[in-house]
Amino acid sequence: MGKRGQLTILVIIALIIVAAVIVIMLYPRISVLINPKVSPSSYLKSCIEPVVKSNIEILSKQGGYFAPQGNLDYKNQSIKYICYTAENYRTCLVQQPRIKGHFEDELNNALAPKAEACAENLKKEYEKRGYSVSLSEIHSNTSIVPGKINIEFSMPMKIKKESTQTFSKFDIEVDSKIYDLLMISTSIIDFESTYGDSETTLYMQYYPDLKIEKIKLSEGSRIYIVSDVVTKESFTFATRSMVWPPGYGFQQ
Amino acid sequence: MTSKKLIMFAMIFLAGILMTNLSSAAGVNATVCCEKTITNLYCQNVPANQCSPNSKQVPTACESTSYCKPGTCFDSNEGICLDNTPQLVCNANKGIWNENHPQQCELGCCVLGDQAAFVSLVRCKKLSSFLGLQTNFNKEIKDEVQCIQSVRNEDKGACVYEFEGEKTCKIITRKECNENVNKTDVVGEFFKGKLCSAEELGTKCGPTKQTTCIPGREEVYFVDSCGNPSNIYDATKLNDKDYWSNIKDKTKSCNPKSTNANSASCGNCNYLEGSFCRKSGNGNARASYGNYVCADLNCKNTENGKSYKHGESWCVYDDKGQLGVGKNAVGSRFYKHICINGEEVLEQCADFRQEECIESSIKTSVTFSQAGCRVNRWRECTSQSSKLDCENTDKRDCLWTYGSEEVPVTEAAKGQASLPQFIACIPKNAPGIKFWEGEEAKSICSQGNSQCIATCEKGLFSDKKCKADGCVDDKGNADPFWTASKLGICTSLGDCGDNINWIGTAGYKQSYTINSKSKKSG
């Protein structure tokens, strides 16, 4: 091979390297150009899923409240009293009878602005790809069901390029065992308010994936950490019921 | 106005001021039913000064008020009832409050395919909707065991039906097959005890190398190409036509008498023996086929050196001091340990030894240990005056004792009231007291105070000679056995007298005094 041939090869290699660098640097934009199709469901799921998980984590550590009132402070964590009595020798009075319902409400309120932002971003994504998009009012609704969290995006959307596509809503599912944990917690509260305590070992024997930790504090409060050993999700709440004080309990 | 009338008026005025001040002073500390406390808790009987300024408060118990009366709260969305819920809390959370147990909370048997749940009708509807099943609720069944038994005998097998022009199949019960397959109105043909992969059924379903876990089941199952669970995973039966055609009982599957924990070839897990279907990896072994194995849930070499099965629990008291003889160390506590999923979980019994851990075991072919925290019933001990009442374990946890092993009591005298000056009824496990604050510790420990009256005589030509019921010797010196007994009893009353803490360190000052006073007569 002559010198000219070698030079040509070197130029080709240099061009390939430069092209590769450009591709790496501009990948997100290029991906839009080379991948004209976007699945709205996948886009919304990838947008909302991390937010769902981070919000669930916060709520789970605080008894299902973002800002718990009527709470116990334990190791820099504010935990809601779901059942409480200030007295000794008495069973507790339920402070939140709809544990799952309230968790859902809190999650719904937290996700609504993010869901709206995700929908707006989806619109922009389509517009970048040359679509004309009309998007009406966006509503989202979160529901917790066994094995998952459903987020319903009610967002009438029409996209138009060569053809027109119309969507009314998108249903996004995020895997989670939080429903089961909330139901077990409700059952524990039922025991606490009726009998003054709960027997956690029976729950754990009955449900193989379940782990319940019960921390008893000196002043009578109990912290329950209900978790799934497979998914590692957990739900923490506090109670104060049927307290046996030190001594005869004459002094408060 | 006469001066008499003026004095009378002044007296009434002063009395009025006095009464107002007294009532307002009492009002601050009087217990009221508070709608919302300053710590944002609802319907609590607390001193008036702990009540939130704008909330309702009535000087009576919450049970007697209209707004905080506890009752049953029904969540109509989930079909769940919770007792002991104040009316205002229930209403504020969109629940339906009822003073008594409402009709909606009556439980019955809810059939969910081949499983059952003992729940309310609304809950049954909810659970059925989750599973895409029609509601099947039987309110005539009145207990959970009967409810679960009622679905045990359901026939199960292959339900063959046409779907989108193809002959397909599903493993369900006969009833489901005849009513609705796949949440549709399609009626299938039922083959009892057959698997969908059976060649004679002529469906599109066939054997695979894949496995799965089934909710509510402990074993690892093969999966056919239609996604139906087949028989229990057995690597040697991968190409066995009969194994892929007929439903095999657990006892006729591989190694039925073993836990098969971490077995690569057999998925016949046994939950009672401590193995359960789990995804392989993450500390679990790998199966020869598929991604699931029987994970080992038992705990080996726990804190006390023993091994326990999944679900077993046991008591631990490893603080200093002695158990059951009223010699517990200050700050010591009972603990319950539980073996769960191969992990040793710790649960404290109530602090100040207000709860003690009790343990028992169920003996079948193997021993299964069960422990629990139970209230320490020490409060009535010191008021018992007979051995029978003292040691009545149905009512209390007390000990009829001499207080100290140093007391020289003969076997015959033990348990008799022959040495009444030494005997006392004390808690088996001395309760803890907040001795560092308040006056209550003093009142409890003062029950250990003891007085001995000795009469001494000194003749003109003889030495002093004393008489007392064993508390002093002839010369009037305190008897060491009497002192030891009284000190033992004192320590057993709670965190009183001389004691050690939970790590075994003794108190830095003497916690008792012996005083003697003499009075001359004659």
pLDDT tens figures, B230-270: 999 999 999 999 999 999 999 999 999 999 999 999 999 99
| A169-206 confidence digits (pLDDT tens) | 999 999 999 999 999 999 999 999 999 999 999 999 99
Same domain (yes/no): A183, A166 = no
Same domain (yes/no): A67, A148 = no
Give the ranges where B153-287 is alpha helix by DSSP (H): 174-179
Q: Looking up tokens 């069901």, which residue turns up? A: A145
Task: Please tell me the predicted confidence (pLDDT) of residue A28.
Answer: 45
Q: What is the mean pLDDT of the segment spanning A105-125? A: 93
C-alpha distance from B222 to closest chain A C-alpha (Å): 21
Decide if A93 and B94 are in contact by the 8 Å CB cutoff. Answer: no
- Residue A142 domain-assigned (yes or no): yes
Q: What is the dihedral of CA B320, A201, A218, B427, to 10 degrees?
A: -50
**Phi–psi pair at B336, nearest 5 degrees:** -110, 130
* A91 contacts on B by Cβ (under 8 Å): 84
Decide if A208 and B276 are in contact by the 8 Å CB cutoff. Answer: yes
Same domain (yes/no): A189, A220 = yes
Q: How many domains does chain A have?
A: 2
Mutate to test the interface with A, among B38, B42, B82, B280 (most CBs of A within 10 A): B82
| B55-82 confidence digits (pLDDT tens) | 999 999 999 999 999 999 999 999 999 9
Query: What is the ipTM for the molecules in this complex?
Result: 0.85
Q: Looking up tokens 């076997």, which residue turns up? A: B411
- Residue A28 domain-assigned (yes or no): no
Decide if A247 and B441 are in contact by the 8 Å CB cutoff. Answer: yes
**Phi–psi pair at B378, nearest 5 degrees:** -100, -15
Q: Which helix (H) or strand (E) holds B36?
A: strand B31-36
Dist CA B51 CA B47 (whole Å): 7
Q: What is the mean pLDDT of the segment spanning B500-522? A: 83
Is the pLDDT confidence value at B19 over 80?
A: no
Of A175, A194, A212, the last residue of a domain is A175
- Residue A73 domain-assigned (yes or no): yes
Task: Please tell me the predicted confidence (pLDDT) of residue B416.
Answer: 44
Q: Which of B46, B75, B379 sits opposite A98 (nearest CB)?
A: B75
Dist CA B323 CA B302 (whole Å): 22
pTM: 0.86
Task: Please tell me the predicted confidence (pLDDT) of residue B10.
Answer: 56
Dist CA B299 CA A21 (whole Å): 54
DSSP B405: T
Decide if B379 and A98 are in contact by the 8 Å CB cutoff. Answer: no
Of A121, A149, A175, the last residue of a domain is A175
- Strands A148-160, B42-47: parallel, antiparallel or unpaired by DSSP? unpaired
Mutate to test the interface with A, among B93, B343, B380 (most CBs of A within 10 A): B93
Residue among B179, B112, B171 at smallest CA distance from B147 = B112
C-alpha distance from A32 to closest chain B C-alpha (Å): 36
Is the pLDDT confidence value at B410 over 60?
A: no
Range of the domain at A65: 61-98+178-240
Decide if B354 and A194 are in contact by the 8 Å CB cutoff. Answer: no
Dist CA B298 CA B274 (whole Å): 5
DSSP B310: T
Is the pLDDT confidence value at B5 over 70?
A: no
Same domain (yes/no): A211, A143 = no
Task: Please tell me the predicted confidence (pLDDT) of residue B466.
Answer: 85
Shortest CA distance from B436: residue in chain A: A246
Task: Provide CB contacts within 8 A for B509, sequence distance 6+.
Answer: none
Dist CA B34 CA B46 (whole Å): 7
Mutate to test the interface with B, among A98, A149, A173, A180 (most CBs of B within 10 A): A98
Same domain (yes/no): A85, A198 = yes
Dist CA B177 CA B182 (whole Å): 9
- Residue A119 domain-assigned (yes or no): yes
Which of helix, strand or coil describes residue B466? strand
- Give A156's Cβ-side CA count (13 Å radius): 2
Same domain (yes/no): A89, A121 = no
Compute the Cα dihedral for A74, A78, A83, A87 and give only its sign. Answer: positive
Q: Which of B85, B341, B444 sits opposite A94 (nearest CB)?
A: B85
Q: Which of A86, A102, A229 sits opposite B93 (nearest CB)?
A: A102
Shortest CA distance from B371: residue in chain A: A201
Dist CA B204 CA B430 (whole Å): 72
Shortest CA distance from B39: residue in chain A: A70
- Strands B398-401, B367-375: parallel, antiparallel or unpaired by DSSP? unpaired
Task: Provide CB contacts within 8 A for B68, sequence distance 6+.
Answer: B33, B35, B42, B43, B62, B86, B87, B88
Which of helix, strand or coil describes residue A143? strand
| A148-164 confidence digits (pLDDT tens) | 999 999 999 998 888 88
* A69 contacts on B by Cβ (under 8 Å): 40
* B383 contacts on A by Cβ (under 8 Å): none
Type of residue numbered B293: V
Same domain (yes/no): A114, A83 = no
Q: Which of B84, B351, B439 sits opposite A193 (nearest CB)?
A: B84
C-alpha distance from B200 to closest chain A C-alpha (Å): 36
Q: Which of B40, B84, B90 sits opposite A70 (nearest CB)?
A: B40
Type of residue numbered B27: G
DSSP A239: E
**Range 201-240 of A in CB contact (< 8 A) with B:** 201, 204-205, 208, 211, 213-218, 220, 229-230
* B347 contacts on A by Cβ (under 8 Å): 200, 213-214, 216
Output B33 or B447, whichever has higher pLDDT: B33
Same domain (yes/no): A165, A196 = no
**Phi–psi pair at B465, nearest 5 degrees:** -130, 125
- Residue A12 domain-assigned (yes or no): no
Same domain (yes/no): A125, A152 = yes
Structure tokens at A78: 């504010």
Put simply, whether A199 touches B (Cβ < 8 Å) is yes
Specify whether the CB–CB gap between A148 and A176 falls below 8 A: yes
Dist CA B314 CA B359 (whole Å): 6
B292 to A177, B221, B266, B271, B311: CA distances (angstroms): 20, 9, 10, 15, 22
Put simply, whether A76 touches B (Cβ < 8 Å) is no
Task: Please tell me the predicted confidence (pLDDT) of residue A29.
Answer: 46
| B28-62 confidence digits (pLDDT tens) | 578 999 999 999 999 999 999 999 998 999 999 99
Structure tokens at B71: 């009752």
Specify whether the CB–CB gap between B44 and B52 falls below 8 A: no
Decide if A93 and B43 are in contact by the 8 Å CB cutoff. Answer: yes
- Residue A70 domain-assigned (yes or no): yes
Q: What is the mean pLDDT of the segment spanning A44-58? A: 95
Decide if B311 and A204 are in contact by the 8 Å CB cutoff. Answer: yes
Mutate to test the interface with B, among A69, A78, A89, A93 (most CBs of B within 10 A): A93
Task: Please tell me the predicted confidence (pLDDT) of residue B393.
Answer: 94
- Residue A7 domain-assigned (yes or no): no
Mutate to test the interface with B, among A216, A242, A250, A252 (most CBs of B within 10 A): A216
Give the ranges where A177-252 is alpha helix by DSSP (H): 178-195, 200-206
Type of residue numbered B365: S
Same domain (yes/no): A128, A230 = no
Task: Please tell me the predicted confidence (pLDDT) of residue B462.
Answer: 80
Structure tokens at B243: 């194994």
Q: Which of A93, A100, A190 sits opposite B86 (nearest CB)?
A: A93
Dist CA B255 CA B232 (whole Å): 11
Shortest CA distance from A81: residue in chain B: B41
Put simply, whether A98 touches B (Cβ < 8 Å) is yes
User: pLDDT-based confidence at B312, cuts 50/70/90?
Assistant: very high
* B86 contacts on A by Cβ (under 8 Å): 93-94
Q: Which of A86, A93, A247 sits opposite B444 (nearest CB)?
A: A247
C-alpha distance from B460 to closest chain A C-alpha (Å): 53
Of A175, A204, A222, the last residue of a domain is A175
- Residue A6 domain-assigned (yes or no): no
Number of H helices and E strands in chain A, helices first, is: 6, 10
| B201-214 confidence digits (pLDDT tens) | 999 999 999 999 99
Same domain (yes/no): A84, A163 = no
Number of neighbours of residue A57 by Cβ within 10 angstroms: 12
The number of angstroms, rounded, from the C-alpha of B48 to the middle of its chain's C-alpha atoms is 33
Compute the Cα dihedral for B295, B301, B303, B306 and give only its sign. Answer: positive
Is the pLDDT confidence value at B163 over 70?
A: yes
Dist CA B400 CA B388 (whole Å): 9
At residue A217's C-alpha, the angle toward residues A213 and A220, to 5°, is: 110
Is the pLDDT confidence value at B286 over 50?
A: yes
Specify whether the CB–CB gap between A211 and A204 falls below 8 A: yes
Same domain (yes/no): A233, A112 = no
Shortest CA distance from B374: residue in chain A: A197
**Phi–psi pair at B55, nearest 5 degrees:** -95, 160
